[in-house]
């Protein structure tokens, strides 16, 4: 049984990415088209400009042609132009902000000319057959800005999508948190009533001499188990209190408990690095739940027989504790290393796929630690690693959201 949302979600994600790319491509092509059209217009404007100059320059000009000067030649406020003589020496320029100093101006214009030569071929001007000039030009500011536009737009789209992604993720996490916490609280609460009633019954049977006292002992064991479950649920449903505990002893306790409940063909081993001080701030009921869940998965991964080895050690700087849980089960391929922690991921007929999700939550959110598949090989076995910080005087920040 699987709650399979993961595949769908990644499809949606790819859909959004494809959509963003499409917007990008369309806007790049569209602006390219606009740029092309404006560039053609500017070329015609320059040709007209050159013609105007040619006309005004010719000697057999009669009448008043000031309008030509005003409307065509002076009207060019946008397109940078340089006019050269027939040997290519700049003699005049427009819209270029050339320096005043003649020497600097010449140098500047020659440099601009070089750039313009690469952009467009010049317009030739012929005045009275013997005089030849050339008009060089480059793109107006408008074109340059337009060319940047799609990239600016894409940057904004990108930022927008990133923001949306993080907002949705935070919202989803907050929602998941409230579901976990609420469900756990409710469960602990509901279990509380029958539990206290059972405890009262046991007290009653204890003093009843006709009642078989060996049954009372068994009942007490079951109640203890019941209490443990309630404890776990109420711990995950409230702000967990962390207390310094010996991680090795805590894990050993749960191993003893599990040993009695699984096939004797599954061998447990637990070890600790010599002289290691494995005391860390933990929430005992939750931490036990973590070890139990991982060990139960390990048992499930075996076909009835195998070994589970827990090994505990501290890091060299003595700030963290490593807990490696190794099994000789069926293993998994590396592509599953992350998937196993997702809610709903299971390969079992009767699995819920929530065990490791819960484990990850407990380790990361409640203990500020990390958990991951250290290694795994199909048909060989799997090792999970838990890393939790040791107490170092600094209070551990717990990033749960309530
Ligand atoms: N020790 C392991 N060896 C091999 N596969 C594992 C092991 N632990 C977990 N898995 C895989 O991860 C899946 C998810 O585990 P879990 O979240 O505990 O859910 P469930 O146990 O309900 O399937 C399991 O179905 C299994 O495929
Ligand atoms: Mg499980």
Q: Which of the 8 DSSP states describes residue 88?
A: S
- pLDDT tens digits, one per residue of 73-91: 888 889 999 999 999 999 9
Q: Is the pLDDT of residue 375 over 60?
A: yes
Residue 43 CB partners (closer than 8 Å, separation 6+): 120
* CA of 3 relative to ligand 2 center, distance in Å: 15
* CA of 310 relative to ligand 2 center, distance in Å: 17
Q: 371 CB less than 6 Å from ligand 1?
A: no
* CA of 297 relative to ligand 1 center, distance in Å: 5
Same domain assignment for residues 219 and 100:
no
Q: 352 CB less than 6 Å from ligand 1?
A: yes
* CA of 303 relative to ligand 1 center, distance in Å: 14
pLDDT of residue 354: 92
pLDDT of residue 4: 54
pLDDT-derived band of residue 400, with 50, 70 and 90 as boundaries?
very low
Q: Shortest CA distance to 288 belongs to which of 323, 327, 338, 333?
A: 323
Residue 399 lies in a domain: no
Residue 375 CB partners (closer than 8 Å, separation 6+): 382, 383
pLDDT of residue 353: 94
pLDDT of residue 157: 85
Same domain assignment for residues 18 and 91:
yes
pTM here is 0.67
The residues placing their C-beta within 5 Å of ligand 2, an ion, are: 297, 355
pLDDT of residue 20: 83
Percentage of residues of the chain with pLDDT beyond 90? 64
Q: 298 CB less than 6 Å from ligand 1?
A: yes
Residue 7 lies in a domain: no
Q: Is the pLDDT of residue 397 over 50?
A: no
Q: 381 CB less than 6 Å from ligand 1?
A: no
Q: What are phi and psi of 271, to 5 degrees?
A: -140, 160
Q: 346 CB less than 6 Å from ligand 1?
A: yes
Residue 161 lies in a domain: no
* CA of 383 relative to ligand 2 center, distance in Å: 15
Ligand 1, pocket-test mutation among 258, 343, 346, 362, most atoms within 8 A of CB: 346
Same domain assignment for residues 97 and 25:
yes
Ligand 1, pocket-test mutation among 4, 294, 356, most atoms within 8 A of CB: 356
β pairing state of 320-327 and 370-377: unpaired
pLDDT of residue 7: 64
The winner for highest mean pLDDT among 18-27, 71-80, 232-241, 369-378 is: 369-378
Residue 295 lies in a domain: yes
* CA of 231 relative to ligand 1 center, distance in Å: 24
Same domain assignment for residues 131 and 172:
no
Same domain assignment for residues 221 and 276:
no
Single residue among 198, 229, 260 that ends a domain in this structure: 229
pLDDT of residue 16: 84
Q: Shortest CA distance to 281 belongs to which of 253, 240, 318?
A: 240
The closest-lying atom of ligand 1 relative to the alpha carbon of residue 350 is 22
* CA of 279 relative to ligand 2 center, distance in Å: 27
Q: 353 CB less than 6 Å from ligand 1?
A: yes
- pLDDT tens digits, one per residue of 22-68: 988 898 899 999 999 999 999 999 999 998 888 888 777 777 777 77
Residue 344 lies in a domain: yes
Assign residue 273 the CATH number of its domain.
3.30.565.10
Between helix 213-236 and helix 141-206 the angle, nearest 10°, is: 160
Same domain assignment for residues 76 and 194:
no
pLDDT-derived band of residue 402, with 50, 70 and 90 as boundaries?
very low
Same domain assignment for residues 284 and 353:
yes
Percentage of residues of the chain with pLDDT beyond 70? 96
Single residue among 139, 156, 178 that ends a domain in this structure: 139
Q: 339 CB less than 6 Å from ligand 1?
A: no
Which residue, by CA, sits nearest to atom 2 of ligand 1?
298
Could you tell me which residue, 8 or 158, shows the higher pLDDT? 158
Instruction: Please give the average per-residue pLDDT across 292-301, as a whole number.
Output: 97
> What percentage of the chain's residues is helix, strand, coil (to nearest 5)?
55, 20, 30
Same domain assignment for residues 56 and 94:
yes
Q: How many domains does the chain have?
A: 3
CB atoms within 10 A of CB 26: 11
CB 327 within 8 A of CB 301: yes
Which residue, by CA, sits nearest to atom 12 of ligand 1?
340
**Among 72-86, 256-270, 271-285, 321-335, the least confident range:** 72-86
pLDDT of residue 274: 94
Instruction: Find the domain containing 91 and state its range.
Output: 14-139
Which residue, by CA, sits nearest to atom 9 of ligand 1?
297
Number of residues that make up the chain: 402
**Among 180-189, 280-289, 294-303, the least confident range:** 180-189
Instruction: Please give the average per-residue pLDDT across 196-203, as a whole number.
Output: 93
Residue 157 lies in a domain: no
pLDDT of residue 1: 44
Between helix 247-259 and helix 284-300 the angle, nearest 10°, is: 50
Among the bound ligands, name the one nearest to the CA of residue 352. 1
Among the bound ligands, name the one nearest to the CA of residue 3. 1
Q: Is the pLDDT of residue 132 over 50?
A: yes
Q: Is the pLDDT of residue 393 over 70?
A: no
The closest-lying atom of ligand 1 relative to the alpha carbon of residue 352 is 22
Q: 373 CB less than 6 Å from ligand 1?
A: no
Query: Average pLDDT over the chain, rounded to whole?
Result: 89
CB atoms within 10 A of CB 210: 5
**Among 100-114, 167-181, 344-358, the least confident range:** 167-181
Same domain assignment for residues 250 and 212:
no
CB 49 within 8 A of CB 81: yes
């Amino acid at each position: 049984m699987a709650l399979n949302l993961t595949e769908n979600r990644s499809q949606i994600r790819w859909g959004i990415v494809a959509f963003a790319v499409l917007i990008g491509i369309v806007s790049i092509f569209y602006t390219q088209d606009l740029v092309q059209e404006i560039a053609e217009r500017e070329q015609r404007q320059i040709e007209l400009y050159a013609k105007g100059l040619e006309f005004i320059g010719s000697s057999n000009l009669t009448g008043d042609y000031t309008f030509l000067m005003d409307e065509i030649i002076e009207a060019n406020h946008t397109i940078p132009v340089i006019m050269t003589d027939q040997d290519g020496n700049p003699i005049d320029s427009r819209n270029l902000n050339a320096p005043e100093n003649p020497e600097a101006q010449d140098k500047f214009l020659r440099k601009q000319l070089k750039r313009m030569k690469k952009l467009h071929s010049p317009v030739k001007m012929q005045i009275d057959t013997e005089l030849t000039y050339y008009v060089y030009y480059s793109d107006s500011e408008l074109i340059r800005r337009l060319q940047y536009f799609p990239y600016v737009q894409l940057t904004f789209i990108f930022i927008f999508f990133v923001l949306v992604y993080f907002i949705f993720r935070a919202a989803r996490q907050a929602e998941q948190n409230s579901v976990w916490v609420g469900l756990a609280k409710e469960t602990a609460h509901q279990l509380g009533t029958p539990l206290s009633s059972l405890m009262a019954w046991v007290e009653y049977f204890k003093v009843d001499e006709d009642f078989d006292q060996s049954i009372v002992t068994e009942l007490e064991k079951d109640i203890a188990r019941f209490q443990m479950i309630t404890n776990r649920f109420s711990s995950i449903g409230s702000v967990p209190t962390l207390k310094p505990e010996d991680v090795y002893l805590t894990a050993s306790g749960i191993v003893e408990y599990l040993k009695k409940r699984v096939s004797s063909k599954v061998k447990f081993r637990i070890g600790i690095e010599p002289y290691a001080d494995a005391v860390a701030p933990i929430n005992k009921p939750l931490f036990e739940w973590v070890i139990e869940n991982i060990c139960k998965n390990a048992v499930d991964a075996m076909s009835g027989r195998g070994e589970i080895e827990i090994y505990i050690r501290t890091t060299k700087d003595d700030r963290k504790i490593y807990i490696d849980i190794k099994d000789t089960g069926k293993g998994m391929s590396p592509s599953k290393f992350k998937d196993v922690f997702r809610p709903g991921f299971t390969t079992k007929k009767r699995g819920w796929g929530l065990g490791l999700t819960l484990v990850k939550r407990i380790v990361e959110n409640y203990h500020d630690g990390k958990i991951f598949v250290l290694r795994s090989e199909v048909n060989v076995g799997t090792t999970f690693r838990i890393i939790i910080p040791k107490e170092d005087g600094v209070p551990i920040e717990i990033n749960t959201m309530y």
